[in-house]
């Protein structure tokens, strides 16, 4: 090969980029309200880190822009995820920010983007938004020792991600781990119920719609769906039944 190819391993998706290429798209944008000190941060698209992967938009630049102003900020998120280490840095920067951070999930906060969302002083979700959490992923090539190192690294990354979820939700780590194992998708109501969000944007007072029906929360689990499908495709063996004659003998013994 004439050019070196780097493997990009993200929390949500993996791709290949030739070294030397630079991704010109910037995945965030600042909007300042001229009437007050508050600013709005728009996070759109995949989260990547220039330091490793040649993206023009780096956590270093993010920190510079974040600290260039003061006052409370609102963060709008619409992202499928991306680099877990860049997300971790952004999470830390938002957690350390002196003003209040209100996170609003526009459409999707999946994978690494859900980690960033946990940095909000208040987290609000659109009524039609979704949040997804799952285990970190990577691609590993090498002998058994190298693969074991990759497994150990993924385990440690998962533990670090769970820290952010635990701080925000108050759920125990076992529950969080099971949710990540199952690749869990939450609608706005379910995210609030589990503690990943604090409220629903523009939610009407009460929990009933115009027809008076209760609006229920919903969680999708890839593992649960797979197990349910397998249970229908693979019939379970019938339990051995007790013959009538044996039952009659037992009844006779009870009467004597």
Residue 62 sits in a domain whose CATH number is 3.90.226.10
Backbone angles phi, psi at 238, to 5 degrees: -70, 140
pLDDT at 237: 67
Q: List pLDDT tens digits, range 32-77.
A: 877 777 899 999 988 865 544 444 447 778 888 999 988 999 999 9
Centre a 10 Å sphere on the Cβ of residue 179 and count the other Cβ atoms it contains: 21
Task: Give the structural domain span for 34.
Answer: 5-255
The total number of structural domains in the chain stands at: 1
- 3-state secondary structure (DSSP) of residue 82: strand
- In the structure encoding, which two tokens stand for residue 200, read together? 């629903």
Alpha-carbon distances, residue 47 vs 14, 70, 213 (angstroms)? 12, 24, 39
Considering only CA atoms, which of 38, 33, 123 is closest in space to residue 76?
123
Between these two residues, 130 and 60, which has the higher pLDDT value? 130
Phi, psi (deg, nearest 5) at residue 185 = -110, 130
Distance (Å, whole) CA 26 – CA 62: 11
Average pLDDT over residues 105-132: 97
**What are the backbone dihedrals phi and psi of residue 83, each rounded to the nearest 5 degrees, phi first?**
-70, 125
pLDDT above 70 (res 11): no
Instruction: Give just the sign of the alpha carbon dihedral 107, 111, 112, 116.
Output: positive
Distance, in Å, from the CA atom of 84 to the CA atom of 138, rounded to the nearest integer, reads 11
Q: For residue 226, what pLDDT is reported?
A: 62
- Taking the C-alpha atoms of residue 122 and residue 104, their distance in angstroms, rounded to an integer, is 8
């Amino acid at each position: 090969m004439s050019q070196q190819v780097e493997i990009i391993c993200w929390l949500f998706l993996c791709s290949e980029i030739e070294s030397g290429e630079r991704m010109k798209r910037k995945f965030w944008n600042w909007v300042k309200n001229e009437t007050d000190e508050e600013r709005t941060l728009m996070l759109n698209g995949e989260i990547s880190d220039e330091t490793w992967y040649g993206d023009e938009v780096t956590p270093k630049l993010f920190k510079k822009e974040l600290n260039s102003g003061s006052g409370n900020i609102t963060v709008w998120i619409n992202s499928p995820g991306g680099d877990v280490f860049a997300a971790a840095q952004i999470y830390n920067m938002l957690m350390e920010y002196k003003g209040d951070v209100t996170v609003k999930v526009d459409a999707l906060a999946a994978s690494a983007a859900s980690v960033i969302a946990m940095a909000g002083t208040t987290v609000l979700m659109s009524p039609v938004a979704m949040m997804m959490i799952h285990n970190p992923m990577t691609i590993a090539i090498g002998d058994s020792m190298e693969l074991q190192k990759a497994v150990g690294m993924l385990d440690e990354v998962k533990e670090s991600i769970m820290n952010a979820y635990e701080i925000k939700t108050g759920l125990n780590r076992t529950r969080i781990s099971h949710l990540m194992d199952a690749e869990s998708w939450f609608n706005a109501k379910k995210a609030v119920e589990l503690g990943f969000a604090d409220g629903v944007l523009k939610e009407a007072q009460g929990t009933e719609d115009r027809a008076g029906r209760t609006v229920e929360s919903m969680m999708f689990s890839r593992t649960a769906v797979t197990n349910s499908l397998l249970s229908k495709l693979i019939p379970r063996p019938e339990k051995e039944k007790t013959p009538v004659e044996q039952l009659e003998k037992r009844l006779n013994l009870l009467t004597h």
